[in-house]
């Protein structure tokens, strides 16, 4: 398909483990965004990239969270030493820099920390 | 502090009638506003947007109205169809391409 893909779709891990969430944006999209969504709430911004450059990481909650996009395409969001409060839906979106403000979202990764 | 608020958590409407969803914001720097629709187990899907230089944008059955002085926008769906039953999020950004700030969502149920 031509949409944003994320893997894994579901991840269950134990407290203290590291997890890596992957996002594959729409081909050719320059901008890539990470959001986190708690149940019953709207997505909350974490960080975003233009090409491989991280433009804004103001939404990352603490230094256990990091993201990279080394070749300007696929991105990985890493959470180290996971805690139960990290449990949420993690959403990735991408957009064309030549387009409007709209961002196109993937299906998300549901992270559960036991 | 929530910069984008959707004060109605749910809305029920009869098929064929108008659905009106409301959204309020506090940040006067927002210049792009968007509506997304979300079905269960799927990611949000972009519906329609409006920039702050306009007060109305229409796309088929969907119309978004922006009242900058009141810091308020609304989405009208006419006529409502059962397939419109979903959660609708409004979002705003400062500049195209920057982060989106979302409201908490409104669940719409369209009854046949």
* Contact state of B32 with A100 under an 8 Å Cβ cutoff: yes
pLDDT digit string (tens) for B23-65? 999 999 999 999 999 999 999 999 999 999 999 999 999 999 9
| Helices assigned H by DSSP within A11-88 | none
Chain A CA closest to residue B89: A42
Residue A26, both tokens? 């729409």
Tokens of B69: 């002085």
Would the CB atoms of B105 and A41 count as touching at under 8 Å?
Answer: yes
A104 contacts in chain B (CB < 8 Å):
46
Question: Is residue B21 over pLDDT 80?
Answer: yes
Cβ of A48 under 8 Å from any chain B Cβ?
yes
Cβ of A45 within 8 Å of Cβ of B97? The answer is no
Q: How many CB atoms lie within 10 A of CB B84?
A: 18
On the 0-12 / 13-18 / 19+ scale of CB atoms within 10 A, B15 is middle
Per-residue pLDDT of chain A (114 residues; tens, 9 = 90+): 589 999 999 999 999 999 999 999 999 999 999 999 999 999 999 999 999 999 999 999 999 999 999 999 999 999 999 999 999 999 999 999 766 799 999 999 999 999
Q: In this predicted structure, what is the pLDDT of residue B65?
A: 98
Q: How far apart are CA A98 and CA B112, in angstroms?
A: 40
In whole angstroms, give the CA distance from residue B24 to residue B51: 15
Q: Do the Cβ atoms of A107 and B34 come within 8 Å? A: no
Mutate to test the interface with A, among B44, B103, B104 (most CBs of A within 10 A): B44
Instruction: Determine, for residues A107 and B99 on separate chains, whether the beta-carbon distance falls below 8 Å.
Output: no
Rg for chain B, CA atoms, rounded: 13
Which residues in chain B touch residue A88, judged by CB atoms under 8 angstroms apart? Answer: none
Q: What is the pLDDT of residue A99?
A: 67
DSSP strands (E only) in chain A: 5-7, 10-13, 19-24, 31-37, 44-50, 53-56, 65-68, 75-79, 88-95, 104-105, 109-113
Q: Which residue of chain A comes nearest to B50, CA vs CA?
A: A101
With tokens 């991105």, the residue in question is A75
**DSSP label of A51:** T
Residue B11 — very low, low, confident or very high, per pLDDT cuts 50/70/90? very high
pLDDT digits (tens, 9 = 90+) for B70-91: 999 999 999 999 999 999 999 9
Q: Cα separations (Å) of B57 from A48, B18, B51?
A: 28, 16, 9
CB of B52 less than 8 A from some CB of A: no
Name the residue among A31, A33, A101 with its Cβ closest to that of B34. A101
The predicted structure's pLDDT at residue A42: 96
pLDDT at A14: 98
Which runs of E-coded beta strand occur in chain B? 4-5, 10-14, 19-25, 32-38, 45-51, 56-59, 62-67, 72-77, 86-93, 101-102, 106-111
């Amino acid at each position: 398909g031509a949409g944003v893909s994320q893997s894994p779709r579901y991840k269950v891990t134990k407290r203290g483990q590291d997890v890596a969430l992957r996002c594959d944006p729409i081909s050719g999209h320059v901008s890539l965004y990470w959001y986190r969504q708690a149940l019953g709430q709207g997505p909350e911004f974490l960080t975003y990239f233009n090409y491989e450059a991280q433009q804004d990481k103001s939404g990352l909650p603490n230094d256990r969270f990091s993201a990279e996009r080394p070749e300007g395409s696929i991105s990985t969001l890493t959470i180290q030493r996971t805690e139960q409060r990290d449990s949420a839906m993690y959403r990735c979106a991408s957009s064309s820099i030549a387009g409007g403000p709209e961002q196109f979202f993937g299906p998300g990764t549901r992270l559960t920390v036991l | 502090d929530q910069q984008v608020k959707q004060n109605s958590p749910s809305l029920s409407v009869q098929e064929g009638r108008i659905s009106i969803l409301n959204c309020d914001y506090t940040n006067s720097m927002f210049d792009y506003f968007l509506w997304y629709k979300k079905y269960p187990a799927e990611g949000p899907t972009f519906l329609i947007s409006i920039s702050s230089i306009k007060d109305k944008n229409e796309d088929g059955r969907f119309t978004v109205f922006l009242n900058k002085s009141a810091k308020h926008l609304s989405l009208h769906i006419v006529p409502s169809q059962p397939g419109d039953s979903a959660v609708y999020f409004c979002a705003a950004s400062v500049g195209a391409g920057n982060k989106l700030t979302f409201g908490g969502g409104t669940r719409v149920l369209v009854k046949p």
